[in-house]
């Protein structure tokens, strides 16, 4: 083909320019449309959701009035049918930008969809495929840590995140395995929140140039236990590459807590005394009616009224429901992740409302919101709800010399160290003595100890259970 | 009033009442005992079984006595009705016992109110049934017609999807319509009973 023929086949320059212009305009319009969406919802970090964990939820509204967000999750099975959990929240919205942030528990779902409505109209909606339900923890990366760190993280679910998108509440990091901070813009509170939740927070030299972040590492410290997780410098992380730590299974600890000391149903009055009383009443009424005449009728009516009151008092349970709260704090360094399990037993069928953000551990339909969980329960049933975890002070701390101290305001009933001592009655502010006594530990304490690494301690001050992780044994996994 | 009590006393001394009353109490005590949970059971469901059994037994009793009262002298019929009502009220302590332990969502006032009202309503239905059966000269089949009527009322309610006439579902579910229908029937019955009582007195005076 000659050059002339080739030139004839090529589109004219004007047409090329026109096509380029159209593409540019279309791209610009698409970007503008994305930015001008009235509502954008992000579940998880960068759209990556960790199943069976608390995930951050962020809804951005642009110039939209009051809206209702509904997140519907079906965690049912083919065998047992649908089991819906509906999270709803009313958001005021208004002119300008409104950001709503919360944390929601996301189970392994069969269907997950969300919709934002305003005045009866759907403003935005979306869904996640069930194939996206992944239990593996995330590795969050803020800034560019370099190829060395990236290669050490290979194989995980790595998400790049902007420093200002790091949540400040520890519950958001429930599904995070590691947080790599390579940007000085990251807020130290977010780093501590991630560590409290159980994540390994790895801070690179670039991030340590920020004094507020550098303050997290006392001089010479490369690894530091904070809450259920740790803060590590780049050197500390590198040194540990040869002896990787098994992550503490907080879900197993919470399961042990939830399974222990369940509320028992009220025991019914034995049948024999009841049968005897009913028979005596019937016999007396029949005799009075048969032989008492008109006065007998009156006496039978009075007897009936008296017997009703007499039956009511001993047979009626004192309360229509029983509620119990169990608390577990997992942590180290004076701070921990608090897990609370609420359990309620109801005798009449009713809608049970827990005034907390939570997730039902029982396999039931639930209506949730930022401040409450509502569950319709049939008669004589109990339900357990796991409250959203939060950071709190840790009463049991390990001193520099390895001894334990009760830093709380209440005395501890006992302190038991895995592979070490077990002592009773540790006063508030007191040191735990290093001597083994014949202490009979509760079932729950034994269950918790089995799940902990060597050197970790379990304690209780009555309603609250403490799992304190040691500073020196963090590199060890559960045996 | 003394005449009314005297008639009631006389009626209760007749042989059928002690037998029927004994049977009713025995059936309900056995129901309570069998429905009561053993210590290992998870929930106390005794009230549901008891209330439905009580309701069906009293409905059968009221329909039966109503049907028989249709051919009785007016004053005796009134005494029969009162006797049935008395029996219905006197089984309430057993119901309270089952209710107290079960903690159902249905309020207790429903049992306290519906038991006597339903007894009155079924008595009137029984009178109507007795008259209808005898009008077609099938009075001999009354012992079969009464239970058949209870089954018929239940099927009718189930078919129409409401709780208006049947004693089974009405025992455990608050149904204002049921209460209205039974109370209306009861009021009609009371009006006829008052008229019958006066007419009976007139007959006795003229006799």
CB contact under 8 A, A301 and B32: no
d(C-alpha A72, C-alpha A93), whole Å: 21
- Residue B25: both structure tokens together: 């109490």
Supply the DSSP symbol for A173.
G
- Same domain? For A259 and A121 the reply is no
- Domain span at residue B125 reads 2-37+45-206
pLDDT in tens, A326-367: 999 999 989 999 999 999 999 988 899 999 999 999 899 999
pTM over 0.90: no
B18:A290 CB<8 A: yes
Count of domains in chain B?
1
Indicate which CATH number applies to the domain containing A73: 2.60.40
Count A/B contacts: CB-CB distance under 8 Å: 110
Shortest distance between the Cα of A74 and any Cα of chain B, in A, equals 29
Both A173 and A243 in one domain: the answer is: yes
The first and second tokens of residue A288, run together, are 């009075």
Mutate to test the interface with A, among B96, B115, B116 (most CBs of A within 10 A): B96
Same domain, A128 and A12: no
Number of domains in chain A: 5
What sign does the CA torsion over A354, A359, A360, A365 have? positive
ipTM value, please give it: 0.92
Question: Which pLDDT belongs to residue A92?
Answer: 92
CA distances to A314, A421, A423, A427 from A438, in Å = 42, 10, 8, 18
Same domain for A227 and A142: yes
Q: Which positions in chain A touch B33 (Cβ < 8 Å)?
A: 271, 274-275, 278
Is any Cβ of chain B less than 8 angstroms from the Cβ of A280? no
Q: What is the DSSP code string of A22-53?
A: HHHHHHHHHHHHHHT-SEEEEESBTTB-BTTE
pLDDT tens for the 207 residues of chain B, in order: 678 888 888 888 888 999 999 999 999 999 999 999 987 767 889 999 999 999 999 999 999 999 998 888 888 889 999 999 999 999 999 999 999 989 998 999 999 999 999 999 999 999 999 999 999 988 889 899 999 999 999 999 999 999 999 999 999 999 999 999 999 999 999 999 888 888 776 666 565
Whether residues A330 and A467 fall in one domain = yes
Same domain, A336 and A439: yes
Which residues of chain B neighbour A308 with C-beta distances below 8 Å? 92-93, 96
A341 and A455 assigned to the same domain: yes
Give Cα A285 to chain centroid, integer Å: 60
In which domain, by residue range, is A298 found? 267-316
Q: What is the mean pLDDT of residues A274-297?
A: 93
Of A110, A132, A154, the one marking the end of a domain is: A132
Out of B21, B33, B43, the one facing A271 most closely (by C-beta) is B33
Same domain, A289 and A229: no
Domain identity same for A202 and A278: no
Same domain for A292 and A242: no
Q: In degrees, to the nearest 5, what angle opens at C-alpha A174 toward C-alphas A411 and A185?
A: 105
Residue B58: both structure tokens together: 């009293």
């Amino acid at each position: 083909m000659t050059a002339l023929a080739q030139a004839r086949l090529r589109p004219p320059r004007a047409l090329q320019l026109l096509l380029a212009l159209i593409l540019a305009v279309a791209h610009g319009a698409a970007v503008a449309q994305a930015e001008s969406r009235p509502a954008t919802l992000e579940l998880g970090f960068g759209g990556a959701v960790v199943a069976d964990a608390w995930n951050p939820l962020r809804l951005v509204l642009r110039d939209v009035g009051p809206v209702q967000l509904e997140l519907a999750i079906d965690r049912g099975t083919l065998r047992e049918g649908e089991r819906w959990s509906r999270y709803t929240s009313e958001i005021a919205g208004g002119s300008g930008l409104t950001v709503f942030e919360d944390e929601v528990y996301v189970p392994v779902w069969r269907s997950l969809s969300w919709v934002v409505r305003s005045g009866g109209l759907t403003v935005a909606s979306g869904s996640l495929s069930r194939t996206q339900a992944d239990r593996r923890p995330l590795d969050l990366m803020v800034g560019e840590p370099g190829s060395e760190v990236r290669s050490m993280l290979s194989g995980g679910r790595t998400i790049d995140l902007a420093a200002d998108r790091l949540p400040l509440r520890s519950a958001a990091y429930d599904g995070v395995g590691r947080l790599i901070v390579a940007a000085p813009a990251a807020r130290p509170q977010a780093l501590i929140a991630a560590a409290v939740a159980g994540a390994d927070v790895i801070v690179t030299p670039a991030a340590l140039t920020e004094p507020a972040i550098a303050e997290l590492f006392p001089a010479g410290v490369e690894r530091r236990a904070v809450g259920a997780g740790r803060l590590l410098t780049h050197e500390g992380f590198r040194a540990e590459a040869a002896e990787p730590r098994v992550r503490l299974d907080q879900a197993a600890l919470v399961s042990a807590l939830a399974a222990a000391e369940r509320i028992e149903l009220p025991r019914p009055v034995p049948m024999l005394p009841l049968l005897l009383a009913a028979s005596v009443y019937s016999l007396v009424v029949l005799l009075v009616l048969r032989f008492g005449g008109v006065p007998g009728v009156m006496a039978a009516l009075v007897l009936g009224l008296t017997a009703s009151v007499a039956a009511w008092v001993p047979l009626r349970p004192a309360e229509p429901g029983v509620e119990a709260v169990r608390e577990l704090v997992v942590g180290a360094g004076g701070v921990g992740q608090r897990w609370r399990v609420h359990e309620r037993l109801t005798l009449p069928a009713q809608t049970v409302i827990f005034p907390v953000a939570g997730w039902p551990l029982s396999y039931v339909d639930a209506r949730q919101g930022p401040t409450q969980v509502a569950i319709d329960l049939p008669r004589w049933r109990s339900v357990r709800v796991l409250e959203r975890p939060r950071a709190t002070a840790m009463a049991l701390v390990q001193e520099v010399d390895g001894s334990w101290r009760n830093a709380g305001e209440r005395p501890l009933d006992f302190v038991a160290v895995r592979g070490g001592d077990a002592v009773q009655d540790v006063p508030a502010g007191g040191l735990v003595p290093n001597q083994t006594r014949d202490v009979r530990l509760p079932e729950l304490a034994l269950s918790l100890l089995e799940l902990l690494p060597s050197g970790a301690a379990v304690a209780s001050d009555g309603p609250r259970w403490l799992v304190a992780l040691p500073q020196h044994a963090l590199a060890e996994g559960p045996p | 009033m003394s005449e009314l009590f005297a008639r009631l006393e006389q009626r209760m001394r007749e042989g059928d009442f002690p037998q029927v009353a004994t049977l009713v109490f025995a059936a309900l005590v056995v129901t309570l005992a069998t429905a009561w949970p053993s210590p290992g059971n998870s929930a106390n469901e005794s009230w549901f079984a008891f209330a439905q059994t009580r309701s069906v037994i009293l409905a059968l009793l009221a329909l039966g006595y109503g049907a028989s009262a249709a051919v009785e002298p007016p004053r005796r019929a009134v005494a029969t009705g009162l006797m049935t009502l008395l029996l219905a009220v006197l089984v309430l302590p057993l119901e309270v016992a089952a209710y107290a332990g079960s903690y159902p969502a249905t309020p207790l006032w429903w049992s306290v109110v519906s038991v006597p009202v339903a007894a009155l309503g079924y008595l009137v239905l029984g009178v109507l049934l007795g008259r209808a059966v005898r009008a077609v000269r099938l009075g001999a089949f009354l012992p079969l017609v009464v239970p058949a009527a209870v089954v018929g009322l239940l099927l009718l309610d189930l078919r129409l999807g409401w709780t208006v006439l049947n004693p089974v579902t009405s025992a455990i579910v608050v149904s204002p319509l049921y209460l209205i229908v039974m109370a209306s029937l009861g009021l009609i019955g009371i009006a006829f009973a008052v008229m019958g009582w006066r007419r009976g007195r007139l007959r006795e005076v003229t006799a």
